[in-house]
A and B are shown apart, each in its own frame.
Chain A
Amino acid sequence: MSTTAGDALLSVRDLVTEFPIRAGVFRREVGRVQAVSGVSFDLMANETLGVVGESGCGKTTLGRSLLRLVPPTSGQVMLGDRDITTAGRQDLRELRREIQMVFQDPYASLNPRIPVRDIIGEPMRIHGVPKEEAADRVSDLLTRVGLLPEHGNRYPHEFSGGQRQRIGIARSLALRPKVIVLDEPVSALDVSIQAQVLNLLDEVQEEFNLSYIFIAHDLSVVRHTSDRVAVMYLGRIVEIGPRPSIYEQPSHPYTHSLLSAVPIADPRRERARRRILLQGDVPSPASPPPGCRFHTRCPIATDICRTEVPKLREVPGGQQVACHHPLAPGETLVDITSR
């Protein structure tokens, strides 16, 4: 996936999103946290790009920046030939018809005081869809996500977590967008319900020709849903590429240790596993380490890693990796560290 922006539906270039750190009586700005530090990628039509990383890696801020729910500090988010980051009010509203979001917490993301019909219909009201057409579409959407049209008259508290997430999905579909940013869409749900919602997302993607940005911390879920995967660490993409490359031949030491840390629901496999235990925690995004941000926890870091920021470049496995010492296909960290 070299960066030929020609056929990309959404292309993100050098996106930076900062939050001010304020202190004192006058809430003076005393510093900045760079939650997203120069992220670039393309999203093709009908594809799902998974974004994985641990808490604080900037994946949620990235998702929100794409819709300008938080204002990016610099960089571009091109939807077709229009830049979301610089669009005026009216243009932004038009652009948001085409890019929608589903949030993590189905308990917090639905207004408890209005009936479901109005929750799903609200985007259409804002965007001036005629009332009757909107009402029909709400009923269709409710049916499509596995609820009944009469459920529209009920309030969010009358639904279970899984059903609420179906409502959130129906709302995101209301304006017939091209892109949906899914921010941890199943992590608040019980395992038996997660599969229902994941299958639903699969079905509507095909039916409505959607592209997804699927943000999650669960690497198994991302493997199941994504065509391509971006791995983030402290605000940067450290590895991005086709799913098989990332999961079967990870090249960045972080991706490698992340995959090795995920427990597998298979006792025999677990017993046979050799884990790479990373030392320490993720450093604070307010003061990221210089050079490669992963060097403080990386088992194979050298001097260059402490001073020079590695750039994303193509490796033999077919993915792009930001690492001074990328692993060759088939090579594992266990081999290297036990050498």
Chain B
Amino acid sequence: MTEPVLVVEGLNVGFPSKAGVVQAVSDVSFELHAGEVLAVVGESGSGKSVSALTLMRLHAKSTRISGRAVFEGRDLLTLSDRDMRSVRGNDIAMIFQDPMTALNPVFSVGSQIIEAIRTHRDVSKQAARARAIELLDLVGVPEPRRRVDQFPHEYSGGMRQRAMIAMAIANEPKVLIADEPTTALDVTVQAQVMEVLRDVQEATGSAMLLITHDLGLVAGTADRVQVMYASRLVETGGVDDIFYGSRNPYTRALLDSIPDLVSDTDRLVPIPGNPPSLLNPPSGCPFRPRCSMATDTCAESVPNLTTVGDGHATRCHHADLLVTEGAS
């Protein structure tokens, strides 16, 4: 494999609160390679969005952070604000879930893309505008010459998300972080936007970190998958390893609990209970209270992320019991 473009090591993120520190991300490490789509899957509160926001240094001042996130030899977490600004939107760009709140309503779409370009490139206004039109065209906004001067409210939801993608790829970033990029969109529009996202990612060769709770989206888009639960990575592997040969009870339970579009299921197998509080997590494995395989060992210690195959690792004391024939 090629040199990774981004290496995250031992990332911890905590939010101090009156009741104590809420540990939103615990000991997360991963590598991201050029040209790949790495999906981060998990339910609300699992820490998937927080880890991405932290990489972009978009967290609140009071946040407690440790670990490293090395991009081109520099640790993003210790860069000065000024240096970080030259990375953000340039080398690493982010696409947010809700384009209506991520775009500024009082500036035209074009002027926001032009700003994104001119912040990082020494080009004339005219050249930046031409580039903005080119970008809007690339992401499939019809009549880009006219649309470039319109305001976000004049765009539909799908078009806004395209405009945000145009803005994110304006400087051909090496890393694209997409945080639930299509959750706010209807399925037919979601399919269009994902197609655009895949096309531009392929064209620019950037790496994409796709944060989502939609396992269908993961199955169709990702090369590799990381599953998060209660602030930790619980399993990581190739997309087929995760879907057909998972060695983690949470991943398996999650896959079992979703209804299927292509076959009739009589009864769903839900995961009992609720995700744990991050303020007072249970002892040992955080999934233990909901896990059908839990034993006394699981209460004693948090399992380590252990390699079980090529590029496949899981955090479970009983991973040995979860060997399947279906793995590719």
Contact = CB atoms under 8 A, between A and B. Distances in A.
Interface of A: 54-55, 160, 162, 190-196, 198-199, 202, 217, 219-221, 223-224, 243-244, 247, 257-271, 273, 275, 277-278, 280-282
9 smallest CB-CB distances across A and B, nearest first, come from: A263-B216, A195-B270, A224-B259, A270-B220, A54-B186, A195-B268, A192-B271, A261-B191, A265-B215
A192 B264 contact: no
A224 B259 CA distance: 6
Nearest to B212: A263
Given A162-B274, A193-B274, A224-B265, 6 more contacts: A191-B215, A192-B275, A263-B190, A265-B255, A270-B220, A280-B142
Contacts of B265: 224
A156 B189 CA distance: 35
A118 B243 CA distance: 45
How many of chain B's residues touch chain A, expressed as a range? 35 or more
A266 to B, nearest CB: 6
Nearest to B189: A281
B17 interface: no
B260 to A, nearest CB: 6
A253 to B, nearest CB: 12
B218 A265 contact: yes
Nearest to A159: B274
A266 B188 contact: no
A198 B257 CA distance: 10
A261 B188 contact: yes
A271 B220 CA distance: 7
Contacts of A267: 219-220, 239-240, 243-244
A190 B214 CA distance: 10
Given A223-B264, A263-B217, A195 B158 contact: no
A265 B271 contact: no
Given A266-B219, A281-B159, A220 B254 contact: no
B261 interface: yes
Contact of B270 (A192, A219, A220): A192
Contacts of B240: 267-268
Given A190-B44, A267-B240, A277-B195, A258 B257 contact: no
B43 A190 contact: yes
Interface of B: 43-44, 142, 156-159, 186-192, 195, 213-220, 239-240, 243-244, 253-255, 257-262, 264-265, 267-272, 274-275
Contact of A217 (B186, B262, B270, B272): B186
Contacts of B260: 220, 223-224, 264-265
Contacts of A55: 186
Contact of B254 (A192, A221, A262): A192
A16 to B, nearest CB: 24
Contacts of A280: 142
A55 B218 CA distance: 23
B257 A195 contact: yes
A265 B41 CA distance: 12
| Residue among B218, B244, B257, B261 with the highest chain A CB neighbour number at 10 A | B261
B269 A195 contact: yes
Nearest to A196: B270
A301 to B, nearest CB: 16
Contacts of B244: 267-268
A258 B275 CA distance: 32
B48 to A, nearest CB: 12
Nearest to A283: B156
B43 A192 contact: yes
A243 B187 CA distance: 19
B188 A195 contact: no
Nearest to A259: B261
B220 A191 contact: no
A162 B271 CA distance: 12
28 contacts: A191-B215, A191-B258, A192-B43, A192-B253, A192-B257, A195-B257, A195-B269, A198-B259, A199-B270, A220-B259, A221-B259, A223-B261, A247-B261, A259-B261, A261-B188, A261-B191, A263-B219, A265-B215, A265-B216, A265-B218, A265-B260, A266-B219, A266-B243, A266-B262, A267-B240, A270-B216, A270-B220, A281-B157
A264 B187 contact: no
